């Protein structure tokens, strides 16, 4: 394999591993801050125990998110030096702003939160958690604006063979990035809500800490319901915008070959990229793709055949990731709506608790698929329309990248096992007993 | 010109603050297997840096981000040239970071041993390799006209590069030992104090050798000879090193630690000033060197980022100083027993 492919694999492995931990922390930090605030306001010890229990799970994920994030920032330089030199003027700034205005705050205050229980007033301690939660989400906003610029570059001019900033405001109000934010952040909250509901369901099935986990479940339920609905709405808006800005991605998402009006969505298909067709097509919904992309069943949708071969993304992964994401994204609001009707008799609804327990991995899968769709669907471009991935890698030896790729797989594999072992252990152990029966 | 020069020194300042803050974490982590005799010692050492290391490490992220934003070409060429060394640093930092969080979560000696080893490796290796990397930058790196590195990891492990690594390790060891005298108690604090006393002459010796070697191996002194007033900076470094010894004898440990901080910052600035305007000098031909002028971002980006940094960094410093104040007392047994912490 060449340097480009190896570097892509390495970056994909590093990003997807990072993305196993960060979305949970975005949502869970806010939920923990909310619980601690409830404790400060009501003095109810259960909220304190909830803060500490979910806080511990948050911290393990936070630690893994932080350490895997550092490598990403430096990999642009190590593996993608031609990209870095080309876009640093704009992309580098967004990363630097993220570090200086958000990540500093988050990392400094998390230390204070962990070690400051006896050093700060209750109110101040809860405020610290809100700062952590807020900074974490602001951090995500800057990263997504940076990604949004790769997807749909704005506010620049090409000078001396690189992209130079001309309009900072255009970059930070880039509609593509804003839609990614509006879609991704509620997705993270959905993931956190399902994580909380799933673990609560496990304890409720065992009928232990019933009050504690009923309350936790209900918090997850409200947040999950609202956020999963927002995900669907912003996902739809995002698809319309992708149709306008990245027609090749849309066509690959649907394995759509012929430019036509009333373009269909096919429920199942086996894309055949070589012969520019689908081998098998089952469940054709005429006009559905036109509606998805343009909110008009008669609109013309560009097919892959009208996109030059060297500007098409790989169809199969784009197609599969989109389908998986949409199917799961539709399931989440349905599951939470069912939960809404069962919320008064959760402990008796054992089948539902089982479903929610088994559903824990599904938002993870959905969110990873969303990432695959965004990044693979942008290929062959690293910056859409400007710079191809093939021209972006560092001039280094493939053997070097091979070595570090193996290193990443080993180290991340072991960390993943250790991390999820700890998370599962703590989750199963449950909260500390209430002080009165201790 | 002015903007790029301002950014050059801001860039140096961010790295210097990173070494000043995370430096004591590296030092404590390196001393960890040697000073951490009992389980209590080990937990005390982890607690001494626990509340602060995470915020300290962000100075690295910011230094990296600012390098990317202000000098993209330098960011691209430096990190791809130093690929293997940087990757080793990153892996080490990953292991160090999770070790604090993981170590005490499972009551098993074997589990703890794994993370104890990671704390040591994850602290020692970055300390050494950052020193090697910076010394190589001072000395010049074999990059050709296309910014392609004509060497490998072993090219960097030359005598002057290794000397830089040893210097960094010594700086951080003393810095960490001094922080322990502030935060640890009883026997551990005493051992940290006596170790500081022993490390001081070693650091002083290595620093002198490094200053002489810099004259032989690098062009760093050219800027100083052209502008002798600049010799004030290495003079401050010397005064700061002497200050460490003075305050150590007075048992004013916090002041000794501040003197050690000043030593680290002035050592970094000794190199940065000598380097100017080069960021990444080529040892093949000076024409290929990356400088603050040929590797920088557009004036607009430099201006916007200057505003961002001037607004945000003072705020960061303010809340980090508050955090340091909050956690600069002795670690108590109550804190060690507190189950929410590591």
Asked if A290 and A263 count as a contact pair (C-beta separation under 8 A), the reply is yes
What beta strand segments (E) does B112-211 contain?
none
Q: What is the distance of C-alpha B13 from the center of its chain?
A: 11
Minimal C-alpha gap between B80 and chain A (Å)? 4
> Which residue in A89, A121, A129 has the most chain B C-beta atoms within 10 A of its own C-beta, making it the best mutation to test that interface?
A89
Asked if A93 and A163 count as a contact pair (C-beta separation under 8 A), the reply is no
- In this complex, the residue of B71, B80, B316 whose CB is nearest that of residue A81 is B80
Asked if A108 and B334 count as a contact pair (C-beta separation under 8 A), the reply is no
Q: Which residues neighbour B110 within 8 Å (Cβ) at sequence distance 6 or greater?
A: none
- Chain B contacts of A118, Cβ < 8 Å? 334-335, 338
> Which residue in B10, B57, B68, B297 has the most chain A C-beta atoms within 10 A of its own C-beta, making it the best mutation to test that interface?
B68
- Chain B contacts of A407, Cβ < 8 Å? 87, 91
Q: Is the peptide bond before B118 cis (omega within 30 degrees of 0)?
A: no
**Chain A neighbours among B 32-91 (CB < 8 Å)?**
47, 50-55, 57-58, 60-62, 64-73, 75-80, 83-84, 86-87, 90-91
Domain count, chain B: 1
* Residue B229 resides in a domain: yes
Q: Is the peptide bond before A112 cis (omega within 30 degrees of 0)?
A: no
User: Do B149 and A396 count as a contact with CB atoms less than 8 A apart?
Assistant: yes
Minimal C-alpha gap between A139 and chain B (Å)? 13
Q: For residue B118, what pLDDT is reported?
A: 94
User: Do B68 and A84 count as a contact with CB atoms less than 8 A apart?
Assistant: yes
Give the whole-angstrom CA distance, residue B146 versus residue B157.
23
* Residue B153 resides in a domain: yes
* Residue B255 resides in a domain: yes
b/e per residue A423-437 (b: at least 16 CB within 10 A): beebbeebbeeeeee
- In this complex, the residue of B53, B68, B313 whose CB is nearest that of residue A76 is B68
pLDDT digits (tens, 9 = 90+) for B36-93: 889 889 999 999 998 999 999 999 999 999 999 999 999 999 999 999 999 999 999 9
User: Do A411 and B94 count as a contact with CB atoms less than 8 A apart?
Assistant: yes
Give burial (CB, 10 Å; 0-12/13-18/19+) of A277.
middle
If one counts every other C-beta atom within 10 angstroms of the C-beta of residue A1, the result is 12
The parent domain of residue B249 ranges over: 2-337
Minimal C-alpha gap between B126 and chain A (Å)? 14
* Residue B115 resides in a domain: yes
* Residue B88 resides in a domain: yes
Dihedral (CA of A330, A212, B100, B108) sign = negative
* Residue B342 resides in a domain: no
User: Do A59 and B148 count as a contact with CB atoms less than 8 A apart?
Assistant: no
Which portions of chain B are predicted below pLDDT 70?
A: 339-342
Q: For residue B339, what pLDDT is reported?
A: 63
Q: Within an 8 Å CB–CB cutoff, is residue B286 touching chain A? A: no
- Chain B contacts of A411, Cβ < 8 Å? 91, 94-95
> Which residue in B14, B43, B65, B329 has the most chain A C-beta atoms within 10 A of its own C-beta, making it the best mutation to test that interface?
B65
Asked if A46 and A435 count as a contact pair (C-beta separation under 8 A), the reply is no
- In this complex, the residue of A107, A168, A396 whose CB is nearest that of residue B304 is A168
Q: What is the ipTM of this complex?
A: 0.90
Query: Shortest CA distance to B327 belongs to which of A155, A109, A59?
Result: A109
Q: For residue A269, what pLDDT is reported?
A: 87
Which residue on chain B is closest to A63 by alpha carbon? B98
Minimal C-alpha gap between B139 and chain A (Å)? 21
Minimal C-alpha gap between A398 and chain B (Å)? 12
> Which residue in B72, B303, B328 has the most chain A C-beta atoms within 10 A of its own C-beta, making it the best mutation to test that interface?
B72
Q: Which residues neighbour B316 within 8 Å (Cβ) at sequence distance 6 or greater?
A: A100, A104, A105, A108
- In this complex, the residue of B66, B149, B334 whose CB is nearest that of residue A96 is B66
Q: Within an 8 Å CB–CB cutoff, is residue B323 touching chain A? A: yes
* Residue B52 resides in a domain: yes
- Chain A contacts of B67, Cβ < 8 Å? 77, 92
Q: For residue B340, what pLDDT is reported?
A: 63
**Chain A neighbours among B 110-169 (CB < 8 Å)?**
146-149
Give the whole-angstrom CA distance, residue A373 versus residue B161.
44
| Distance in Å from the first CA to the final CA of chain B | 48
Element (H, E) at A237: helix A210-245
Give the whole-angstrom CA distance, residue B280 versus residue B294.
11
If one counts every other C-beta atom within 10 angstroms of the C-beta of residue A225, the result is 19
Give phi and psi for A272, each to the nearest 5. Answer: -120, 90
> Which residue in A39, A94, A98, A115 has the most chain B C-beta atoms within 10 A of its own C-beta, making it the best mutation to test that interface?
A115
User: Do B76 and A84 count as a contact with CB atoms less than 8 A apart?
Assistant: yes
Element (H, E) at B280: strand B278-280
Which portions of chain A are predicted below pLDDT 70?
A: 435-438
| pTM flag (> 0.80) | yes
Q: Within an 8 Å CB–CB cutoff, is residue B310 touching chain A? A: no
């Amino acid at each position: 394999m060449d340097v480009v492919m190896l570097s892509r694999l390495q970056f994909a492995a590093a990003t997807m591993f990072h993305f196993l931990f960060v979305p949970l922390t975005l949502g869970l930090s806010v939920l923990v801050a909310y619980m601690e605030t409830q404790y400060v306001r009501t003095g109810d010890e259960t909220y304190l125990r909830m803060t500490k229990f979910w806080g511990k799970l948050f911290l393990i994920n936070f630690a893994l998110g932080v350490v895997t994030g550092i490598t990403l920032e430096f990999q642009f330089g190590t593996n993608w030096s031609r990209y870095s030199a080309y876009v640093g003027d704009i992309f580098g700034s967004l990363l630097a702003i993220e570090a200086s205005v958000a990540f500093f705050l988050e990392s400094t205050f998390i230390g204070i939160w962990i070690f400051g229980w006896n050093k700060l007033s209750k109110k101040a301690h809860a405020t610290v958690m809100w700062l952590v939660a807020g900074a974490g989400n602001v951090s995500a906003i800057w990263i997504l604006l940076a990604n949004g610029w790769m997807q749909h570059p704005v506010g620049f001019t090409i000078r001396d063979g690189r992209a130079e900033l001309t309009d900072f405001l255009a970059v930070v109000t880039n509609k593509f990035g804003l839609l990614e934010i509006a879609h991704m952040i509620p997705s993270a909250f959905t993931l956190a809500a399902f994580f909380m509901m799933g673990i609560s369901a496990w304890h409720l099935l065992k009928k232990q800490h019933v009050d504690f986990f009923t309350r936790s479940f209900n918090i997850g339920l409200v947040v999950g319901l609202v956020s999963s609905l927002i995900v669907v709405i912003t996902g739809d808006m995002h698809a319309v915008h992708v149709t306008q800005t990245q027609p090749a991605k849309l066509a690959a998402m649907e394995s759509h070959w012929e430019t036509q009006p009333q373009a269909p969505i096919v429920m199942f298909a086996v894309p055949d990229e070589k012969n520019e067709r689908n081998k098998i097509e089952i469940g054709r919904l005429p006009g559905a793709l036109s509606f998805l992309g343009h909110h008009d069943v008669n609109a013309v949708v560009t097919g892959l055949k009208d996109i030059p071969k060297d500007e098409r993304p790989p169809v199969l992964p784009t197609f599969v990731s989109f389908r998986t994401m949409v199917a799961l994204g539709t399931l989440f609001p349905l599951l939470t709506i069912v939960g809404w009707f069962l919320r008064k008799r959760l402990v008796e609804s054992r089948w539902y608790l089982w479903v929610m327990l088994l559903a824990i991995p599904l938002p993870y899968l959905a969110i990873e698929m969303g990432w695959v769709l965004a990044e693979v669907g942008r290929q062959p471009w690293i910056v859409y329309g400007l710079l191809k991935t093939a021209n972006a890698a560092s001039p280094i030896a493939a053997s070097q990248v091979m070595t570090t790729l193996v290193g990443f797989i080993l180290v991340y594999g072991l960390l993943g096992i250790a991390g999820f072992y700890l998370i599962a252990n703590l989750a199963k152990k449950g909260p500390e007993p209430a002080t009165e029966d201790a | 010109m002015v903007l790029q020069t301002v950014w050059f020194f801001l860039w140096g300042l961010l790295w210097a603050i990173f070494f000043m803050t995370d430096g004591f974490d590296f030092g404590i982590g390196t001393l960890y297997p040697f000073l951490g005799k009992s389980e209590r010692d080990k937990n005390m050492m982890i607690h001494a840096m626990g509340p602060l290391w995470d915020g300290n490490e962000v100075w690295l992220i910011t230094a990296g981000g600012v390098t990317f934003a202000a000098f993209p070409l330098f960011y691209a060429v430096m990190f791809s040239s130093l690929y293997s060394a940087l990757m080793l640093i990153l892996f080490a930092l990953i292991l160090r970071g999770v070790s604090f969080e993981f170590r005490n979560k499972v009551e098993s000696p074997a589990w703890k041993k794994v993370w104890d080893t990671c704390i040591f490796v994850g602290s020692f290796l970055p300390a050494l390799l950052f020193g090697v990397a910076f010394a190589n930058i001072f000395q010049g790196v074999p990059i050709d006209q296309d910014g392609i590195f004509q060497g490998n990891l072993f090219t960097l492990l030359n005598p002057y590069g290794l000397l830089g690594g040893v210097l960094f390790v010594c700086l951080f060891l003393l810095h960490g030992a001094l922080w322990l005298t502030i935060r640890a108690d009883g026997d551990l604090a005493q051992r940290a104090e006596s170790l500081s006393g022993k490390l001081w002459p070693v650091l002083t010796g290595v620093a002198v050798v490094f200053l002489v070697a810099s004259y032989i191996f690098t062009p760093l002194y050219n800027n100083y000879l052209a502008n002798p007033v600049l010799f004030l900076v290495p003079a401050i470094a010397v005064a700061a090193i002497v200050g460490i010894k003075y305050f150590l004898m007075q048992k004013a440990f916090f002041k000794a630690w501040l003197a050690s901080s000043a030593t680290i910052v002035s050592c970094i600035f000794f190199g940065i000033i000598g380097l100017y305007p080069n960021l990444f000098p080529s040892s093949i031909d000076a024409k290929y060197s990356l400088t603050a002028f040929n590797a920088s971002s557009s004036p607009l980006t430099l201006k916007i980022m200057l505003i961002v940094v001037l607004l945000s960094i003072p705020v960061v410093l303010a809340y980090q100083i508050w955090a340091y104040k909050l956690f600069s007392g002795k670690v108590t047994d109550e804190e060690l027993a507190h189950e929410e912490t590591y």
